[in-house]
Structure 1
Amino acid sequence: MYKILLADDEGIVIDSLKMIIQKNYGAQCDIESAKTGRSVVEMAEMFRPDIIFMDIQMPGINGIEAMKEIRKTNPKVVFIVVSAYDKFDYAREALNLGALDYINKPFDRRTILDVLSRAMAGLDQEKRIRSKSLEIREKMETVQPLIENGFVYSILFQDNFAEETENYKNLLDIKVNYGFMEVVEFGSEEEGKKLTNAVGTGIRLQKQYINIRETIREFQDCITGSMMGNKIMLFVPADVPKSDYNDRTDRIEKCRAMIDRLQERFEAEVRVGVGRIKPIAKMADSYREALEALNVAPSRVAHAEDLPVGCSYDSDYPIEVENALFDAVGNGNRDLAAEKAEQFFGWMEESYPDHLMDVRLKSLEFVLLAEKKAYESGGQTYHFTSRTDYLPTVMGFGDFSDLRHWFVVHMSQAAMDVATKKDETSDDLISRVRSRIDLEYSGELSLDLISRDENVSSYYLSRLFKEEMGENFMEYLTGVRINKAKELMNNTDRPMKEICVSVGYSDPNYFSRIFKKTTGMTPTEYREDRLR
């Protein structure tokens, strides 16, 4: 059904338009009319038309002014201007107001039907777009909690998965690089700093998760994780790397209001722990602060900034450089580790030129922590006496120059050890798999079998094999088998069935299909081609 409003001060024009429309569209159109500018505006507000045929010259408010007024309350309406005045200024202003067309009187039936058909087609397209948009929104409402939970899991529990986190950020349209974690905790009663019956309350509220999530979003612009036990984790985006006093106060008040609503709706005691603002890559630290705040404070809202939670630093301490340095070590990025080590040591030397002993201690602390990361990355054996000379060496440096060199070399070496051991471990595994394929290609080899023998998951081995070799496990195995088959066909006159079995295929027909898919010809065609 299309709602059409005819606006003209001449009754004969209205009657003509109505007759043309009704004759061709019948009950598809609901038609109303008005003869003055004021009545057009009033009728448009009450009738809410889809299409308006608008005359320019009408008593009182003219057509152009009426269009401007109607646009304020009905911005989607389609205007078709009909006028006896063939003036460029009128046409230009009408088109500027979004009129679909400007028709001069007298008009004929074909002109009216053509412009009306275009107007209806445009409206139908708009309806399809709106319908599709609603359908997408409905689907997104279904998968949104899953995406949000995936993001929260990614930033809290998966180290070195920056690409995955970026993908989630794009899906959720997260533009900022900072944020903080909140932990919403549910229970039956408060006992000091704890809520009782955590397990029972968590089980009871699992069924209410969607409703709880919607209630939280009434107060928080946040990404909501799933309910884990009796807790829900929230990521709250932040534009700045640090909150001021007013921001913190506002946050606490929002949490208090949210707690009141949650307790009222779900009949449970609620507490909220709030962590400090961190880079997204450091959300696990903010999460730990939020948990610790809940453990330290007995209040309903526990903010890490208000409590002895985590570590505070001097105002000029380069904590971001420190974090970047240890991230580079953990990621095996030797060049970046060396750059950040130089930067951090430069700060120490500039800020504390008369504190060589403190700089020695800090340098030794960092090197030991970095090497611990390297050991924990795997592939190395820790020897208790391997660093016997570190302390006397550091104490023997009489100036910053030699100490700087020692510090940078050891930090970058730790990063290189991480990278090397990762590469060596991967290379050794793939080398063993390739050797086994080369030796046992004629047997019943499978990815699952080799994964079990190597004590790694088939998913991990498959991904690693594809990354190292540029093709998947089965493609490589097939290539080896086909090459061996070609070798036997080139150098022996053994029967084709025997060759088929000797390279690992029990079914000659399947062997023939695989051979042709790989080489472009059947085994028989290949052998005949070599004999010519």
Structure 2
Amino acid sequence: MLGVLIVDDEEKVCTLIQYLVDWEKMGLQVIGVANDGITAMGIIEEKHPDIVITDIQMPGYNGLEVIQQVRERYPEIYFIIISGYRQFDYAHQAIKFGVEDYLLKPIKQDELNSILDKIIKLKKSEEEIKTEQELLKQKLNVHSKKIKQNLLWDILNINEEFLDYTIEQLNNKYDCNFQSGIFQVLIFKADFSIELEQEKVHQMLDNKMIEMIEKEFQKDTIEQVTYLGEEGVYLLYNAAQEDKDLRWKLKHIRNKLNTLRDVFPGMFVTVGIGNYVKNVSELPKTVYDARNAILNRLFKGVGKNIVVTPSQQPGLEAADIINSEFQVKFLDYMDVYHLDGILQLLKKIERTLREEPNSDGILLLRLINDILDIYFLSLKKMQLEVDISQSKIEFMKIFYSCLNIEDVFEKLFHFIKENLETIMAERKNVEAEPIIEAKKYIIENYNNNLKFEELAEKLGFNYAYFSTLFKKETGQTLTEYVLSIRIQKAKNLLLDPEVSIMEVAESVGYSDLKYFGKQFKKVTNLSPKEYKKLFMQK
């Protein structure tokens, strides 16, 4: 989870911020609260939060001083500032220091959650970049890449310095011989309808592909760089003008490679074509286009040339599909090891992508990364030690070997299933099957009049023994677990201004409003009315 520090000299503002966010659901954790700048600096030094939400005017160091000092030492920390309308000049100065965003008082829940969600996505993007760096570094070490190949490695890893380079600077740094003209990236991907188990066989084919590609393009290009990435063999070439014979060349290369089918049975070669650019500062664009095109083979089929046109830009964003409803259901299913529920969620995403006419490869890749992030989050919530980076690398190798979208989601499900089966075996003595079934039953029937004696009998135990077993395995009594589920559902319903407190009580299984209020306050230290009012004031 990402750590969050809240800093404001008004305790009620700090309390409000804590209640405005479902921290656990967003993958966040409040690691500290401070009412002055000096205390805040101490917490930052000790706990190194990922995000700091801070007021501007405070005793000790003010917000600007905190931001300035922390930025110098910990530039990776994201800041959100809180300011009044009369403090805009201060807010403007804070923005110059590099804060991510600012909130005007009174703080609004949707704005705060939106800013936090944006920062989470930025953090995820950073993690994706780090993961891809590891993937690419592994390939670089295996194949002993030359200096030129570092150029494509840097582009793929979004090296911001690269965008400001001139042709001369690129030539000096990467030992290239680029000249003015056009630049274009192509990706050649060999897929197999049967699995090739031996790594040496793959290496032999990769080397053969690079040899053929370099030979075919050598005659009409000023400079060319080949690079072996996860998506396939990259070719960046520089020519005086657009190659009118490009399609013929690509067909010729594919025909040559197809002659290797006797050695590599079931092989299909696809080419992802990036649109050409005229400036080296636009090289990331042609790389992006080529990646999107080669990933689009999962929609369009393998064994052909694919180019991305503007009309193929996606109509949906990953956040439209991996929404809060999906996340809640996925985490609930993980909690009770409901594999069929997880499978249906994945099939629903697959159907959505098939029905969306502008779905593309980059969108699919982002969805897979988001699903894996939610999966690993659920494992952390279950207090399981997981090497997230290595696990991602393992699945992304599987992903890049898939032939179509159905293959992707089938292999993703089997990846999750096999992981969970391993976990189930390891946790056999920690959380037994009857406990899982009991939690599943309670989640599905929390708003009914639950009878624990009948539940225990249904699971094959007497009530006294089962209640002791449940407490031992979960740390909660059956009553406490039901209460926690009901109150969490009630908190969500209270956010709707159109729903009365009585309706909320009945929806979560309470017919007595007074008793509901007593139970709610027992968990949250607030009455339902106080909780609802707290959100209505924002």
Q: Tell me if both proteins adopt one fold, taking TM over 0.5 as the criterion.
A: no
Pick 1 or 2: higher relative contact order, CA cutoff 8 A, min separation 6.
Answer: 2
The structure with the larger Rg is 1
TM (norm. structure 1) is 0.28
> What TM-score, normalized to structure 2?
0.28
